[in-house]
Structure 1
């Protein structure tokens, strides 16, 4: 007597994975291990800066926590309060590790803040120049050419010599010397995009000018803008550090990495290297990590530049 065995139902076929633009972007970005490492390092640095009041062994700018007798102690020295100065102290007895954590907050805040404001100003003027054309375009681009003809550090020094020290003054000076880069970048991209069919369709529908510019034109100009903004954040951090090193940046009560480096300059020849060395390393790692991310973003968003 023969028995028949029912064939099992075939397994349902897996649905093909949809390759969304975001997944494609992430996949191409992660092709570069250096860029991925730079992103991780920068995220770690930003987290340290945000959590500095919780992570730092001491508040290096609270006079009640400082002891002048602990001034210029080498790395690994024991403090009277019971903790270790892993990176040593400066001439005022401030813990260098805590100073770097707090200094990162000022440097990142000034760099990111100035880049955001400069981007808003430059993008608006660049879009108006590209869309308006004629005399408006000529006037704005002559201002851009005039701005870019001056070395950035020299222009920032002149502005701060007039305004004086202060975080807001440094941000304002950086905005004035940075906005032209965004304006030129966005104008070049917008001149190409404004001839596209979707802009002509928006004109046929009689849409308001501000809606055409910011709703339709701007989103299609974002890829090169993202790359420039990333690079300009690193550039703003470096400029702020230079200004603070020269004594025209942030005040002593709210020092950034540049001011920390400046504080130890006179002690370098006497062997107290750590006062300037460790803040310099923190500044270098921050700028390099941002540049690695920006370089990979450029390759992903503009494949023609890929090596």
Structure 2
């Protein structure tokens, strides 16, 4: 039920995003009118454009981080207990460092290299992927360890099945639903991280704003009573985060229930 509610919410957002062209046809097509800071753009066009960018960042970086997590976890298991423990400790070290702080630091470095220019969308995707592997790595490692305690896995190992074959042919197929749940739960975390950094002014440029960047550059309008220029982007951000969270948690509960 939780997953269905999240899917419904994401489906509504997808339908709205696909109607972007109609919404950006002018102030008449947008019930919130023209953007006070960008008279040639409507509030709807800016908000839905930010929705596209935030979703693209979350999905791309979430997928990249999960791929790295699986690769590190499998490498550690394949090389033995010592390597597996080393991967675990490295993931714990990276996990202890706040993502927002790391992303802001990387933003300073990128701006220094580029002569003060804001970071680009591809750069942000790479940076979010690079800092987003630690948490899913620990979860994948714990999942593989729990699966290895199953009787038929112990029997296969006793019969001399090679470790690599055991991982790829027996353990990983049983973990795909869990990996999908992790991915979907990582997406909103990444979106919120990017939104926080962009809101603080260290993220994407104003010319291609995410939802966080848009809210950061328009928050002053609330003090002027122009709430209609800010509420759409805020509502889209909250709805997208809740949608992905509900789908991810629903799949995770199903995965855990099926394993039990």
Instruction: Mark yes or no: TM-score above 0.5.
Output: yes
Alignment: residue pair count: 250
> 1:214 aligned to 2:168?
yes
Q: Which residue of 1 aligns with 2:33?
A: 88
Distance 1:101 1:235 in 2: 20
Tell me if structure 1 keeps the 8 A contact 2:23–2:29: no
| Residue deviations 1:99-120 (CA, integer Å, cap 9, x gap) | 1221111011000000000000
SS at structure 1 position matched to 2:175: helix
> 1:184 aligned to 2:138?
yes
Q: Which has the higher contact order (CA 8 A, sep 6+)?
A: 2
Tell me if structure 1 keeps the 8 A contact 2:215–2:234: yes
> 1:44 aligned to 2:12?
yes
SS at structure 2 position matched to 1:302: helix
* Runs (5+) with no aligned partner, structure 2: 112-118
Q: CA deviation at 1:275?
A: 2.1
Q: Which residue of 1 aligns with 2:60?
A: 113
Distance 1:89 1:267 in 2: 13
Q: CA deviation at 1:208?
A: 7.7
Residues 43 and 84 of structure 1, relative CA distance in 2, 3 Å threshold: closer
Cα RMSD for the two superposed structures: 2.6
| Residue deviations 1:110-156 (CA, integer Å, cap 9, x gap) | 00000000000011101222343233113212210110111121122
Tell me if structure 1 keeps the 8 A contact 2:6–2:246: yes
Equivalent runs, 1:5-16 vs 2, <5 Å = none
> 1:226 aligned to 2:194?
no
* Runs (5+) with no aligned partner, structure 1: 1-31, 59-64, 66-78
| Residue deviations 1:213-239 (CA, integer Å, cap 9, x gap) | 333321112233222211111111111
Which one of the candidate residues 237, 257, 261 is aligned to 2:211? 257
| Residue deviations 1:46-100 (CA, integer Å, cap 9, x gap) | 3433x25543324xxxxxx9xxxxxxxxxxxxx4xxx343112221112011112
Distance 2:172 2:258 in 1: 22
Q: Which residue of 2 aligns with 1:56?
A: 23
Distance 2:129 2:149 in 1: 30
Residues 160 and 305 of structure 1, relative CA distance in 2, 3 Å threshold: farther
Residues 303 and 193 of structure 1, relative CA distance in 2, 3 Å threshold: closer
Distance 2:146 2:99 in 1: 28
Which one of the candidate residues 188, 201, 220 is aligned to 2:156? 201
